[in-house]
Amino acid sequence: MNHPSNKSSSDMRNEYLDLMLKCLTGSIYHDAPTKLNSIVEYDDELREYGWDWPTVAHSMIGRKRMRNVRDLVESIIGNKVKGDLIETGVWRGGACIMMRAVLKAYGVTDRTVWLADSFEGLPKPNVEDYPADAGETFHEYEELSVSIDRVQENFRRYGLLDEQVKFIKGWFKDTLPGAPIDKLALIRLDGDLYESTIQPLDALYDKLSVGGYVIVDDYHVVKGCKAAIHDFFKKRDINPQLVEIDGVGVYWKKEQ
């Protein structure tokens, strides 16, 4: 005999999104770090804070920063902040998969998740224009180059590749100024470099709704990234309150 579930829609939504978080970060199956890490076995604390690079998981940001993605998208939905969601620098797509999962869980059909990336890794530092990036070697890591086909397949595996997911392929300086985006409610910056942080802000910040959020993934771990944020604040004459996420990333809310 089939019995009706006693679970509320809220309970089922939470269970779905909690499971998505565990899967996207590799926590549910204890995905070991890549060979780039000195630690060879899965460590739950490292995965909580995103301090290792998982071998097969679809995100390296760890559970705390992934929860932050969920929380802010839920806040945007609850407060009816207008606009789409974008991540600039997506790796295997995990954070954007979470964004799409939250929209699905709440039955939101009028927002798009945008993924902006070269899908060829990071650019070689342009030291002449962005001296803060001198000495950075992110472009040498083949592991950071994930093709658009692979990211799309990752979405497909969760049943989340649909018309509400759109891709912007190319270097930010070429693609973002003319991107066909009208309004944003969330900007997640994960470009590591000064160049790859300041360019999305310059191109997209004016499209961010009041009440929307900017997440900066690498604020505390890449000097150029942090410098770009504060140079942008100075240029725009703004001083938003930065909120800590996990000792690595921060975010702020656009108040005006």
Tracing tokens 């993924």 back to the chain, one arrives at: 115
Fold classification of 64-253 is: Rossmann fold (3.40.50)
pLDDT confidence tier of residue 5, bands split at 50, 70 and 90: low
Number of CB atoms found within 10 A of residue 55's CB: 15
pLDDT confidence tier of residue 191, bands split at 50, 70 and 90: very high
Cβ contact 87:100 at 8 Å: no
β-strands 184-189, 84-88 pairing? parallel
The answer to whether residue 239 scores a pLDDT higher than 90 is yes
Once rounded to an integer, what is the mean pLDDT over residues 203-212? Answer: 98
Q: Give the model confidence (pLDDT) of 154-173 as tens digits.
A: 999 999 999 999 999 999 99
pTM comes to 0.94
Q: Torsion over CA of 205, 210, 215 and 221, rounded to 10 degrees?
A: 70
DSSP helix/strand/coil, 225 = helix
pLDDT confidence tier of residue 126, bands split at 50, 70 and 90: confident
- Please give the residue that has the higher pLDDT: either 36 or 52: 52
| Residues forming beta bridges with residue 165, ordered by sequence position | 113
Q: Where are the domains of the chain?
A: 64-253
The DSSP symbol for 33 reads: B
Q: What is the pLDDT of residue 190?
A: 95
pLDDT confidence tier of residue 4, bands split at 50, 70 and 90: low
Average pLDDT along the chain: 93
Q: Give the model confidence (pLDDT) of 57-83 as tens digits.
A: 999 999 999 999 999 999 999 999 999
Q: Torsion over CA of 51, 56, 59 and 62, rounded to 10 degrees?
A: -30
Q: What is the pLDDT of residue 211?
A: 98
Q: What is the pLDDT of residue 37?
A: 65
Share of the chain above pLDDT 90, in %: 79
Distance, in Å, from the CA atom of 152 to the CA atom of 165, rounded to the nearest integer, reads: 9
Tracing tokens 């604390």 back to the chain, one arrives at: 45
